[in-house]
Chains A and B, each alone.
Chain A
Amino acid sequence: MYKIVRKEVLSPVIKLFEIEASHVSENAKPGQFVVLRTDEKGERIPLTIADFNREDGTVTIIIQEVGRSTKELGKLEEGDYVVDFVGPLGKATEIEKLGRVVCVGGGVGIAPVFPIARALKEAGNEVISVIGARTKELLFWEEKMADVSDQLYVCTDDGSYGHKGFVTDVIKQVAEDVEVEHVWAIGPMPMMKAVAATTKPLELKTTVSLNPIMLDGTGMCGACRVSVGGETKFACVDGPEFDAHEVDFELAARRLAYYQDDEHRVEAATNHSDGGACKCHEK
């Protein structure tokens, strides 16, 4: 059992949990992830590490409530426990001094891009960060990102905060204005695909952190397999970071959608037990 020592509600659907797990925090590096299970009937879900504190033995994760498991997790409070917390998993980000780099976080992807930006900054890079979300409500950690960046751009699709528009607009502009060595982008699959499409013609080296379906997260099943440069890779052990210009995003997006109807069934079951508006027992 792993204790939640801090919870912060970042928006109605985005929540931060700091969880006691010294075996993870001792070894955690930027770019890695954990697999978490909320309770005995729960599923194993992968979450990228947003921060870690070796002294306190804690790991920070940020979730967006998108389905049953994240909603169940979202209900937990400080002092509650999750049954399983495994990590650190996956390969760490390769951090080196490159010069000027761009770190892009889309939506809940802001969380995992933060430790990468911080490490890149500490390694002596000039860090330009771009964070974006659909709307103001879904933005968080603007200050934290500003602290580890030389420049920070904020945008929302609907213009409710910061620049109106997509992160890709900003990336394009930045790359036109100054010399950039490398881009890291983490966010929803369509956003990472759009970033890759933006930087490819500019021949700007780009790394994305893929978020396929995972089960064990240790390389024993291949649920998370992705196609990179025409080769099959397991995101949990070979990644999760890959060269964005080599990733088959179409395949990745389709694989992510495979259980959509099951996810809806689970949601319907939850709504029903909550006395909600489920119509599952009506004709």
Chain B
Amino acid sequence: MSRKVKTKHEMPVQDSKERITNFDEVALGYNEEKALAEANRCLECKVPNCMKGCPVEINIPKFIGAIKQKDYKEAIREIKTKNSLPAVCGRVCPQEAQCEKYCVIGKKGDPVGIGRLERFVADWEFANENSSSSMEVGEPTGKKVAIVGSGPAGLTAAGDLAKMGHSVTIFEALHVPGGVLMYGIPEFRLPKDIVQKEIDKIKELGVDIKVNYVVGKAGSVKDFLENGYDAVFVGTGAGLPYFMNIPGENLNGVYSANEFLTRTNLMKAYQFPDYLTPVKVGKRFAVIGAGNVAMDAARCALRLGAEESYIVYRRSEEEIPARAEEIEHAREEGVKFLLLTSPVEFHGDENYNLNSMTCIEYELGEPDDSGRRRPIPIEGSEYKMDVENVVLALGQGPNPLVPSTTPGLDLTKKGNILTNDETGVTSIQGVFAGGDIVTGAATVIEAMGAGKKAARAIDEYIKSTN
């Protein structure tokens, strides 16, 4: 019986030599046969530990049980009662740190490929449009909710609130909804037409999305409360790029990760000149930082024609914050890792174009507050490295547009919005917040979890203010 299979069924992927020539999805997904075989590894525990690890509370054994019965329609229905973006989550969640981390059979082998199965049923639904309508909308309540930002937090809150019967309008600053799903995560990890399809499903629930609307510039949170909205949810994310404040940082060729990825993904610069937004990638390309965003940038660079693409990171392999799978994919594709190293100065030519950087080497000292060993620069270890482009992927701060235009909104020292963890309640009555604007840059699924909790709290709040 397949329950004895100790390893997760492999997911087919595009060959690494082939895939660096295109932006097509790397992981190809399970076919039905593989999905059934993987589903059969699940023991359907009476007390499922896996669910503890899912921020949006999907009933995992139940949907996997439905897959075993080949009732994919039921499987996707079950998932969608909790999660409005399963095709996204199945692809980009760090399952190894969430649901799959708690899977019982993971103790004596690989855990069940929960993410891969979630992706399988979500993709099955797209392929079988007629069997859709897996989400039901409640009786209209006549209450209006404004959502600021259409990233994972806002979309989840919107989907849940619409299902509860509220009238929901999302206000998005960019020209397409999706937030980081559209501008940040590359096509080869998360195809944009998949994100668009999931957003369309949320629209089918009656959610209205207004793009090109910058809250804080065109109208404010207070305006919404004064103009007929019963509550506001702020999910504006952590979109403010950090720079290093070292000499030469403003030279041509030095990009923030946000700029590089937005040009590449949102504006489709990889299809330049068919699409009009350019992006420049020289022969030698370096990304400073080693999170998922850094891996994305380094892998994009190879696809855009860089001959060498480096991850430059001041700590060691062990501290790399990116997902194991992303690091592995980057390595397979030829991304090189320059560890215990960081630039101290960028140099340019007479046209102010970057041509090299001075790096310094580090050694690891005692663990710091975060529990990671502190990098200490080694005196005299500086050396020069030729490089034509640098992407700074050092993390992002909270976007200040909404906080700075909403008097009375309490913030942390870093500028994040202060909320009650369980409800997303802020210091202003009727205003809720969640996702990266509250926690700082985190994961898609955590933002979705926050959107879900806030939706519940908003529902209770507006019902109480009759």
A44, CB-defined interface residue at 8 Å: yes
Known: A42-B276, A83-B175. A254 touches B252 (CB 8 A): yes
Q: Report the bound CA distance from A216 to B261 in whole Å.
A: 12
Known: A219-B240, A227-B250. A24 touches B218 (CB 8 A): yes
> Closest chain A residue to B271 by CB distance?
A41
Q: Report the bound CA distance from A47 to B157 in whole Å.
A: 34
Stretch at the interface among B16-24, B102-110, B208-216: B208-216
B52, CB-defined interface residue at 8 Å: no
**Residue in B175, B241, B352 whose beta carbon sits within 8 Å of that of A37 in the complex:** B175
**Residue in B218, B263, B353 whose beta carbon sits within 8 Å of that of A258 in the complex:** B353
Interface readout for A222-236 with B: 1 if CB under 8 Å, 0 if not?
A: 110111000010000
**Which B residues, 251 to 275, have Cβ-Cβ distances below 8 Å to chain A?**
252-253, 255-256, 258-259, 262-263, 267-268, 272-275
Contact A262 B352 (CB under 8 A): no
A269, CB-defined interface residue at 8 Å: yes
Distance to closest chain B CB from A262 (angstroms):
4
A89, CB-defined interface residue at 8 Å: yes
Known: A220-B399, A223-B259, A265-B273. A255 touches B250 (CB 8 A): yes
**Residue in A27, A41, A254 whose beta carbon sits within 8 Å of that of B276 in the complex:** A41
Contact B241 A259 (CB under 8 A): no
B173, CB-defined interface residue at 8 Å: yes
A69, CB-defined interface residue at 8 Å: yes
Distance to closest chain B CB from A21 (angstroms):
8
Contact A221 B256 (CB under 8 A): yes
Q: Report the bound CA distance from A218 to B259 in whole Å.
A: 12
Contact B352 A254 (CB under 8 A): yes
Contact A23 B252 (CB under 8 A): no
Contact B280 A259 (CB under 8 A): yes
Interface readout for A186-227 with B: 1 if CB under 8 Å, 0 if not?
A: 000000000000000000000000000001101111110111
Task: Give the chain A neighbours of B253 by CB distance below 8 A.
Answer: 258
**Residue in B243, B259, B400 whose beta carbon sits within 8 Å of that of A232 in the complex:** B243
Which of B267, B276, B280, B353 counts the most A-chain CB atoms under 10 A from its CB?
Answer: B276
Contact A215 B259 (CB under 8 A): yes
Contact B399 A219 (CB under 8 A): yes
B351, CB-defined interface residue at 8 Å: yes
A9, CB-defined interface residue at 8 Å: no
A86, CB-defined interface residue at 8 Å: yes
Contact A232 B274 (CB under 8 A): no
Contact A222 B258 (CB under 8 A): yes
Task: Give the chain B neighbours of A37 by CB distance below 8 A.
Answer: 175
A68, CB-defined interface residue at 8 Å: yes
**Which A residues, 83 to 111, have Cβ-Cβ distances below 8 Å to chain B?**
83-89
Task: Give the chain B neighbours of A250 by CB distance below 8 A.
Answer: 352
B219, CB-defined interface residue at 8 Å: yes
Distance to closest chain B CB from A137 (angstroms):
27
Interface readout for A9-31 with B: 1 if CB under 8 Å, 0 if not?
A: 00000000000000110110000
**Residue in A24, A84, A221, A262 whose beta carbon sits within 8 Å of that of B259 in the complex:** A221
Q: Report the bound CA distance from A86 to B214 in whole Å.
A: 7
**Which B residues, 405 to 450, have Cβ-Cβ distances below 8 Å to chain A?**
none
Task: Give the chain A neighbours of B256 by CB distance below 8 A.
Answer: 221-223
Contact B240 A220 (CB under 8 A): yes
Task: Give the chain A neighbours of B277 by CB distance below 8 A.
Answer: 43-44, 215
Distance to closest chain B CB from A65 (angstroms):
14
Contact A84 B212 (CB under 8 A): yes
Contact A262 B174 (CB under 8 A): no
Which of A42, A69, A250, A258 counts the most B-chain CB atoms under 10 A from its CB?
Answer: A258
Q: Report the bound CA distance from A145 to B268 in whole Å.
A: 41
> Closest chain B residue to A255 by CB distance?
B252
Task: Give the chain A neighbours of B401 by CB distance below 8 A.
Answer: 218-219, 237
Beyond A86-B213, A86-B214, A258-B253, list 16 extra A-B contacts (CB 8 Å): A42-B276, A44-B267, A85-B212, A215-B259, A216-B173, A218-B239, A219-B401, A222-B259, A223-B255, A226-B250, A227-B250, A232-B245, A232-B250, A258-B353, A259-B278, A263-B278
7 smallest CB-CB distances across A and B, nearest first, come from: A221-B259, A262-B278, A254-B352, A220-B239, A43-B276, A258-B252, A43-B277
A-B contact pairs, 21 of them (CB 8 A): A43-B276, A83-B175, A86-B173, A86-B175, A86-B214, A89-B214, A215-B267, A218-B214, A221-B256, A223-B255, A225-B250, A232-B245, A232-B249, A250-B352, A251-B250, A254-B351, A258-B252, A262-B273, A263-B278, A266-B273, A266-B278
Chain A residues within CB distance 8 Å of chain B: 23-24, 26-27, 37, 41-44, 68-69, 83-89, 215-216, 218-223, 225-227, 232, 237, 250-251, 254-255, 257-259, 262-263, 265-266, 269
